[in-house]
């Protein structure tokens, strides 16, 4: 292995570079961050070349945030466009093998930091680029030649971002006419298990990976060229529930890969055994019980949702490989699936989206719902959201009256049971229970009390004999 100014090892996966130990920040929520892999003919690649367009590391100011784009070109006899997304997802792994360099997210959401200690050992990004390419060619031998260009110039990063988003869009469109029932196998991905040990990412034609980077075709290509790698086939097994997307094969792999933590994953359910959430998800969904609807917030949105919580807080509650009823991480392309949370109402259950996300996915939102789904411009809290939904007559409003009526009936039943079961003080020895009057309308005697629209708490009830005054 070549000599590098920093250590390289899988042991550094999960290492976090905190703000007080950071030299510079690249991309992230305060700037632009991008990574893209492109398959190229071998004669167009200068092997191991690193090009830097914009300020290099030594020209950067400590504590500052800079725009960042990484464009990798790969070539080889077995390299094909279907492998681009697969190689892209390994960028996260291999960068995090480098001591003192933190990498989060993917595609156009990349966020990196370089520690002060690592920055003191090198004055250029060149050895970093060479280290990452060395790891790629070692771990993925089908890559025969590779070069990378790092962009830190704002205008250049913006230009690369526009071009990359068109490429991502074209990749995502490939599964548009392919559905879960059309294939014999799904694919799994364990790339995120280093920081989400119980996460089981299942990729089907109708459900892209949580990070948004791996679709069904990508999973197939990866499993083909790297059978021992992190992407692998999942036998569908028997279909148990078409609406919720439950298969015996998925349940078996869920139990195995989560070390028994979960025994079911239902691909298209929000509330019943939902898909696990890793932490790399592009969007997180959250249930709003006050309106019986579901909101979605994307990683780029910096504001608060109507429930008073922002993306980062919800991501912390949802991620880590947990299966949380009421929260769900997804890749953005899942919005385009005809099976999008179909077990729980699909688009008819969506009540809130950040305006930037709503605009981004506008083409997939049903026309009759576009004006009925609120954004931060329409609702900033629960009360304003409720008023908006009522004004627009959103489909969830029809469920409110039925829910209130059902709740009233349940309360009446609970109150009757509570009164009947209220504890009594045991009478003293020799005490004679006074005769209770018979009430008309009943054959069993005693008193029946019915309370409507009331909440009663009884700590204890004392029955004593009334003594006559002498």
Q: pLDDT per position in the chain (470 positions), as tens?
A: 568 999 999 888 878 899 999 999 999 989 999 999 999 999 999 999 999 999 999 999 999 999 999 999 999 998 988 889 889 988 988 999 999 999 988 889 899 999 999 999 999 999 999 999 999 999 889 999 999 999 999 999 999 999 999 999 888 888 888 999 999 999 999 888 877 899 989 999 999 999 888 899 989 988 988 888 889 999 999 999 999 999 999 999 999 999 999 999 999 999 999 999 988 899 999 999 999 999 999 988 989 999 999 999 999 889 999 998 899 999 999 999 999 999 999 999 999 999 999 999 999 999 999 999 999 999 999 999 999 999 999 999 998 977 666 666 666 666 655 555 554 444 444 444 444 334 334 444 444 455 444 445 555 555 555 555 54
Q: Tell whether 78 is covered by a domain.
A: yes
The domain tally of the chain equals 2
CA-CA-CA-CA dihedral for 203, 84, 337, 254, to nearest 10: 10
What pLDDT is recorded for position 409? 61
What pLDDT is recorded for position 428? 43
Q: Tell whether 470 is covered by a domain.
A: no
Residue 345's CATH number: 3.40.1470.10
Distance (Å) of CA 1 to CA 7, 119, 321: 11, 21, 34
What pLDDT is recorded for position 66? 98
Q: Tell whether 428 is covered by a domain.
A: no
Q: Which residues contact 421 (CB under 8 A, 6 or more apart)?
A: none
What pLDDT is recorded for position 465? 55
Look up the domain containing 218 and give its range: 185-395
Residues 133 and 159 in one domain: yes
Q: Which helix (H) or strand (E) holds 238?
A: none
The residue to which tokens 């392919």 are assigned = 178
Q: Please tell me the distance from the alpha carbon of residue 307 to that of residue 204, in angstroms, as a whole number.
A: 31
Q: Tell whether 425 is covered by a domain.
A: no
Q: Tell whether 371 is covered by a domain.
A: yes
**192 labelled binding-site residue:** yes
- Closest among 76, 60, 159 to 112, alpha carbons compared: 60
Q: Please tell me the distance from the alpha carbon of residue 244 to that of residue 247, in angstroms, as a whole number.
A: 9
Q: Which of 395, 411, 430 is the last residue of a domain?
A: 395
Q: In this structure, what token pair is assigned to residue 242? A: 């078409």
Model pTM? 0.69
Residues 132 and 219 in one domain: no
Q: Which of 371, 395, 419 is the last residue of a domain?
A: 395
What pLDDT is recorded for position 468? 55
Q: Please tell me the distance from the alpha carbon of residue 109 to that of residue 93, in angstroms, as a whole number.
A: 16
Q: Which of 174, 209, 230 is the last residue of a domain?
A: 174
What pLDDT is recorded for position 221? 86
Q: Which helix (H) or strand (E) holds 134?
A: helix 126-139
**189 labelled binding-site residue:** yes
- Closest among 298, 254, 293 to 273, alpha carbons compared: 254
Q: Tell whether 413 is covered by a domain.
A: no
């Amino acid at each position: 292995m070549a000599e590098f100014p920093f250590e390289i090892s899988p042991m550094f996966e999960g290492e976090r570079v905190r703000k007080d130990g950071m030299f510079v920040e690249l991309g992230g929520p305060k700037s632009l961050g991008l990574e893209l892999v492109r398959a190229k003919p071998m004669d167009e690649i200068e092997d191991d070349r690193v090009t830097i367009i914009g300020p290099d590391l030594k020209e950067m100011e400590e504590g500052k945030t800079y725009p960042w784009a990484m464009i990798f070109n790969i070539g080889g006899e077995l390299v094909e466009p279907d492998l681009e997304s697969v190689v892209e997802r390994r960028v996260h792994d291999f960068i995090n093998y480098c001591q003192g360099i933190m990498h989060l997210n993917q595609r156009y959401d990349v966020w990196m930091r370089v520690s002060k200690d690592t920055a003191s050992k090198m004055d250029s990004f060149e050895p970093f680029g060479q280290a990452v390419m060395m790891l790629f060619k070692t771990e993925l031998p089908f890559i025969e030649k590779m070069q990378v260009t790092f962009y830190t110039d704002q205008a250049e990063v913006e230009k690369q971002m526009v071009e990359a988003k068109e490429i991502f869009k074209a990749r995502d469109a490939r599964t548009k006419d392919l559905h879960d029932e059309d294939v014999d196998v799904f694919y799994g991905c364990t790339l995120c298990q280093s920081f989400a040990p119980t996460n089981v990412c299942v990729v089907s034609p109708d459900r892209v990976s949580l990070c948004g980077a791996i679709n069904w075709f990508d999973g197939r290509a990866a499993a083909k060229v790297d059978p021992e790698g992190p992407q692998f086939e999942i036998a569908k097994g028997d279909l148990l529930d078409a609406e919720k997307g439950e298969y015996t094969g998925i349940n078996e792999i869920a139990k195995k890969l989560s070390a028994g933590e979960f025994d079911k994953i239902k691909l298209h359910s929000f509330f019943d055994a939902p898909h696990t959430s890793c932490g790399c998800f592009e969007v997180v969904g959250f249930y709003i019980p006050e309106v019986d609807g579901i909101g979605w917030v994307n990683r780029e949105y910096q504001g608060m949702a109507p429930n008073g919580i922002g993306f980062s807080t919800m991501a912390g509650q949802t991620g880590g490989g947990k299966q949380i009823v009421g929260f769900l991480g997804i890749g953005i392309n899942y919005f385009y699936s005809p099976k999008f949370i179909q077990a729980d109402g699909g688009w008819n259950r969506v009540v809130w989206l950040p305006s930037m996300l709503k605009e981004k996915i506008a083409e997939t939102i049903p026309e009759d719902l576009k004006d009925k789904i609120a954004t931060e411009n329409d609702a900033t809290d629960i009360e304003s959201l409720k008023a908006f939904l009522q004004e627009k007559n959103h489909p969830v409003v029809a469920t409110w009256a039925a829910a209130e009526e059902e709740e009233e009936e349940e309360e009446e039943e609970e109150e009757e049971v509570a009164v009947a079961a209220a504890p009594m003080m045991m009478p003293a020895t020799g005490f004679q229970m006074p005769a209770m009057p018979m009430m008309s309308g009943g054959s069993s005697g005693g008193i029946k009390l019915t309370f409507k629209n009331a909440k009663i708490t009884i700590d204890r009830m004392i029955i004593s004999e009334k003594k006559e005054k002498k």
